[in-house]
Structure 1
Amino acid sequence: MPVGVVVRRLPGVTRWQKWSWRAVALMPGAGPADWAVLRQEGEAVEYHAATLSLELHRTETEAYLIALSDKVPSVYVIMRPAPEREDSVPLELLLLTASAHEGLDYADSSEVIVEKVPMPPGLIAWIRDFVDMHHQEEIFYKRQRDRTRVDLEEDGIGDPRIRQLADVYRAPGRTKKDTLQ
């Protein structure tokens, strides 16, 4: 589904950052856009920054359920600072995901900006219908240990050229007299 991303520009709160940019809203079914001004109120400006495709996959329905069961169901918008261009576009929008797992994976990186944007009601219903259609509950099976005793043999410990069991970690060719000096 094509989803438009609304980005708000506000004046920065420090002298080192002139503007503060933040993804604030989603527009399901939006047409293509390239930083079109939607609303301007004083120094605050809202842009329809881009329209990205929101894809859902059958194997990630559990992650979609987590996102839907959040206090405020949200979509993760992944952005990065844009390379310097003549039209001074500040951010490059990379991806939209409804998967809570994928959003958190991107949040571990310092190279991208991850914004959690609330889903509109139509998008919530679309994702919920998809999950209802494709979700299969996985049964948890507790793994059983095998009863083999692995602590009885010491295969692979130390150097096989050293005969003393007490010195299995000593380097070959060195004696105790060499180590005491």
Structure 2
Amino acid sequence: MRREGEAVEYHAATPVLELHGAETEAYLQALSDEVPSLYVVMREAGGGPQPYEVLKVTASPYEAQDYTDSGNELVEKVPMPHGLVAWIREFIEAHHQDEVFVKRKRDKKRIDLVEDGIGDARIAKPGDIYASPTLKRRRLQ
């Protein structure tokens, strides 16, 4: 689009920003940053006038982190326009549901009292639980 010194501005794509109701926690995280931002996921293009192709634009920092973990894509943080911040905030207000923290409770059942699978069922005495069974030998007459 324009060149200013060593900086070059490209119009790489016009991607669609999709928001999902299950991801509102991530969007809240993005809006709580000092500068609310979108994340542009790009991959090197194989030749051509543009060095990168745009794969995705997301408002979720968690999804952006997943793309950076692979190392194959380049993820750039781009400040959100004010109108987009308002739109995402409205989406969050309409779809966000706080998840209630439920602490896991342990059973009172004692599982260490039963020794299932220890020893051999052919051993009669409990004291010989780790003994090897002996074969009964018949006398040949």
TM, length-normalised to structure 2: 0.77
Asked if 1:115 corresponds to 2:76, the answer is: yes
Q: 1:140 matched to which residue of 2?
A: 101
Asked if 1:73 corresponds to 2:15, the answer is: no
- Residues 120, 129 of structure 2: 8 Å contact kept: no
The list of structure 1 runs, each at least 4 consecutive aligned residues, that deviate by more than 4 angstroms after superposition, is 163-167
Equivalent residues in 2 for 1:162-177, closer than 5 Å: none
Equivalent residues in 2 for 1:1-181, closer than 5 Å: 38-82=1-45, 84-85=46-47, 87-155=48-116
Aligned residues: 127
Alignment partners' CA distance in 1, 2:23 and 2:31: 13
Query: Which ranges of structure 1 fall in alignment gaps of 5 or more residues?
Result: 1-37, 168-181
TM, length-normalised to structure 1: 0.61
Quote how far apart the aligned CAs of 1:95 are.
0.6
Please state which structure has a larger fraction of its residues in strand. 1
Q: Return closer, same or farther for 1:114/1:154 CA change in 2, 3 Å cut-off.
A: farther
CA deviations 1:58-101 (Å, max 9, x no partner) are: 1111111011111221111111112x23x243112101111122
Alignment partners' CA distance in 2, 1:71 and 1:165: 66
Alignment partners' CA distance in 1, 2:62 and 2:87: 19
Alignment partners' CA distance in 2, 1:51 and 1:96: 9
Please state which structure has a larger fraction of its residues in helix. 2
Query: Which ranges of structure 2 fall in alignment gaps of 5 or more residues?
Result: 132-141
RMSD across aligned positions (CA): 2.5
Alignment partners' CA distance in 2, 1:94 and 1:46: 18
Q: Return closer, same or farther for 1:160/1:60 CA change in 2, 3 Å cut-off.
A: farther
CA deviations 1:124-179 (Å, max 9, x no partner) are: 1110011111112222111211122223344457x869x87679xxxxxxxxxxxx
- Residues 12, 50 of structure 2: 8 Å contact kept: no
SS at match of 2:19: coil
Alignment partners' CA distance in 2, 1:150 and 1:59: 38
Q: Percent identity?
A: 60
